[in-house]
Structure 1
Amino acid sequence: MSRPRSNPPRPTPLATHSVRPRLTRSVLAALSALVLLLAVAVAGAAPAQAATPIRIMPLGDSITGGPGCWRAVLWDRLQRSGFSDIDFVGTQAGGGCNLASWDGDNEGHGGYRAAGIADQNQLPGWLAATHPDVVLMHLGTNDIWNSTPTATILAAFSKLVDQMRASNPATKILVAQIIPMTPSGCSWCPSGVAALNSAIPGWAANRTTAQSPITVVDQFTGFDTTADTSDGVHPDDSGFQKMSDRWYPALTPLLGGSTPGDTTPPSTPAGFSATVDCSLRVTLTWTASTDNVGVSGYEVFRSANGAGFVSIGTTTATSFPDTLNGLYRYQIRARDAAGNTSAFTDPVSVVPPPCPPQDTQPPTTPGTPAASAVTTTSATLTWTASTDDRGVAGYDVYRAPGTGGSFALVGTSTAAAFTDTGLAPATTYRYQVRARDAAGNTSAFSTAATVRTAGGAAGCAAALTLQTGWGGGYVMQPNTVTNTGTAAINGWTVTFTLPAGHVLTGSWNASVTVNGQTVTARGITGQNATLGAGSGTTWGFQASRPAGDTTVPSAATCAAS
């Protein structure tokens, strides 16, 4: 946890001594020259950086604090780029993140809303404890999850900015257009994020001042919730890297100027090779280059039929695909963020490989699927295998709802069997399969088979999930509620017991009451209380616990209404 740091001690003024009358004029002259030389030497040895580090507060919710590894990535890049005279500050501590040493102080609070922080006047206490010069603010995710209007979020932003300026009139503020979110059970979240992000630039333009400028940082564009998050909300390693990459160019001008110049090129990629298969797909591979700051990508060049090399694409990976259409040669080079490029690799040539005649014969039609091991949510299908002149590569399994719905691909199998999961209880499905070979030829579809899953009783199931924990508390989300029946339910009630000494401090996406250590969470009418058969929703809560206690609630019951 960051603690208030006292101001650095001021240099002690040089003592003034009187000169005794018996000193001669020549001695006085010599002493004066010596003092002048000492002053010049001291001035020449003065450090280039300021005596007081620039204090940077990362402010937000669990995306910032739990564990918020974009902070570690950003800290590491700043240090490697020469911005060492900085201090991340906050009343929260967050370490780890696969870095041996970095400044983990922050003001990231899991489950917190911008409106809640503003309404409860929590920020002034954090500011008084840390005195930031720069604030990196990524807030609004939990507000949107709780259906808070954009205008209310921006009003909270304005109050937080006023509190920052009251603490330090020269605070430099970086406000994020937040990363996208697609959590289960929050169909309104994507549009809520879009509305907030589109309103932030205009809000910032009206609130910025020359003494305390507000810089808008686009964290949304190019961020993919499938590839860059672990659950549709919280970033994974690629997401943390993207967030750091967006903060860095906006922050560095506030730390004493532009990014220090980087003139060192990456090393030349090693082990460059090319392979081509009988479908004329080319795959280029190589060993990663190294760089004093970091390799940002690779440029791929191609020469066709003896012509000059031209650029055909870039990649951040150590491989690149292409399609052969002539006699090709390839070479690549690495580049870094400053635009420095390595030397080119030696060219490699690619020609079509010797391949057998093209296969145009499709496999035979597989037998009609037969169902076994049918449960409320799954069914195992088997069928008579197909044959092919060069071998069956696998089977495509298609499913249709009811007795008249359209078929859609639900899976593939290399064997003449497939288990379909995630089905609704007491529901009818139809299945058909087709075979395919390595050349892409497909058989006709099998005759369709009808399967009905078991079950039919109304009910629901609940599960609790720990997102993050620390010495004095934890956040549980996404906690799931699933309709296990065959008809829609109009309400659900989840009950569980908090361990002794634990206190619930906040919740979202559910109506929650506490009686002693018993916690009861109910669906919110008009939001997530009604669940269709087989569908579900999520909710979350935050709790405190005694120091040293690492237990969390684990079992929950669910009742449908």
Structure 2
Amino acid sequence: MRRVPWPLVPVCWVLLLVAACGWGGAGEGDEGRAPGAPAGVTAQAGSATSVHVMWDAVPDSTRIRVYEVYRGTTKAEEVPGSQHMVDVTRLRPSTLYSFTVRARDAEGRLGPPSRAVRARTPALAAADRSAPARPADPAGRVLGAREVQLSWGASRDDRGVVSYEIRQGGTEIHSVGGDQTAAVVTGLRPGTAYVFTVRARDAAGNLSPASAPVRLTTPGADDGRDTAPTGFTAHTHRSGGAYYIDLAWDPPRTDGVITEYQIRLDGTATTSLVWGGTPPRGRSAYSFYAGRTAGEHHRVRLRARLPDGTWGGWTPQRAVTTAG
């Protein structure tokens, strides 16, 4: 919880917003072509009832509105076009599944399916409440401005480790099978300090404590401008004798979904906005209480927590005045 200066309310708002999908298939007169098939699709059992599916963004990914993940011929999940991984849940233990991914663009055109990948869920361990041991001796090395390699010692578990989760800043960014003790993490930012941890998961879904942190800094420079929200505006309005500051912005284009933003008011971080569900697509808006006094001047800006767990660049600062 962050300390919020008066007159703001000291609360971390959780916005449970779910965007509705209302597009149809493409008509014969639509211009352009449907998206291509996603490449680099992988599937790895995460527990006895879940599989983690990942894929690469299709070329010209700015046109992609959603990715659809299919279990056999059944659509199992749908995620925003900025997201390239998902956990498919509610599966059966000891079962072989086949997954494909398809891209749908802003005009509603659905591309062809990716190549099929298979994953078998392990048997469910009855009454297993024992979590795996913490992964030991984690290490890492920088491979370039946008990728690093991590390694760790195998975790011990009485029933066996099914998968390892790699986290950065509390955000899961990668997953590998329980027989792997190394991974390459891509899609990072140049000139950025990262802190990675690894957790082991068993067939019952029990998670180990996080490993010791691995601290790595990618070479190069990043001024944050490419990761700042765009089209940022700020205005005020009066309601019920009080004043509110109204913000609107477009999310930065990133390789992954953004679920959290931070507001800075008059030079101090004040509030975090966290979407509890699927973030709205396109432009976002938020209003917050600014007191009951007219003629007060405020300066406000915004930044996003990126899919790699780091904070992106700040928007330009906007000045607002509460008016009578």
Shorter-chain TM-score bucket reads 0.3 to 0.5
The structure carrying a bigger helix percent of its residues is 1
Larger radius of gyration: 1
Q: TM-score, normalised by structure 2?
A: 0.36
Q: TM-score, normalised by structure 1?
A: 0.22
The structure carrying a bigger strand percent of its residues is 2
